Amino acid sequence: MTKISKDIPLAELTLRKYEKPYNMPKRDLIRKICLSTGLLQPGDSRDVIVDIFQVLLEQKREMSCDEIQEFVVAKRKEEKLALHGIAASNIRRQVKRLRDLYFVEKVRNNYRIHENEDDMVCLFEEKIEKFYLLGIVSRVKEYLRELK
């Protein structure tokens, strides 16, 4: 009897193309980045990941999950948004998703934008396009070669 391996992906990446970013408010721009990179699904009303990403981008320093949560709550109140998804457990889960996509890194018990990078295009190219995406494309090609 042969054992069938489970179909659990080693890596997964969703990319979407939207309209060009003309004169968008910062939160909307970050929301489009989250949608474009699969961190947020179209139509999701629970978009706290946008606020978490924005806080980390604006603060430009290492922050604990508790600090991130405080800033996110303040930002959502300021924007008059519903306080959905602000539980500590959800903040940690969303930060982990940002880490999995290499936008955020953990330093000791704090989080920051990966390597304090100011140029997010450079970060995307280095970590996602050249490393993550290349690995996925390479593996798909291996499967395609096996079809011969």
Q: Mind listing the pLDDT tens digit for each residue in 39-50? A: 999 988 889 999
My answer on whether 42 and 56 are in the same domain is yes
Instruction: Report the alpha-carbon distance of residue 119 to residue 77 in Å, rounded.
Output: 28
Domain range enclosing 126: 117-148
What sign does the dihedral 102-136-40-121 (CA atoms) show? positive
Q: Which two tokens stand for residue 115?
A: 């390597």
Domains of the chain: total:
2
Residue 3 forms part of a structural domain: no
My answer on whether 110 and 125 are in the same domain is no
My answer on whether 58 and 86 are in the same domain is yes
What pLDDT does 9 receive? 85
pLDDT tens column, 3-52: 666 788 888 889 999 999 989 999 999 999 999 999 999 988 889 999 99
Tell me the pTM. 0.88
pLDDT tens column, 70-105: 999 999 999 999 888 899 999 999 999 999 999 999
Q: Which of 35, 50, 41 is nearest to 81 (CA)?
A: 50
Residue 8 forms part of a structural domain: no
Instruction: Report the alpha-carbon distance of residue 68 to residue 48 in Å, rounded.
Output: 11
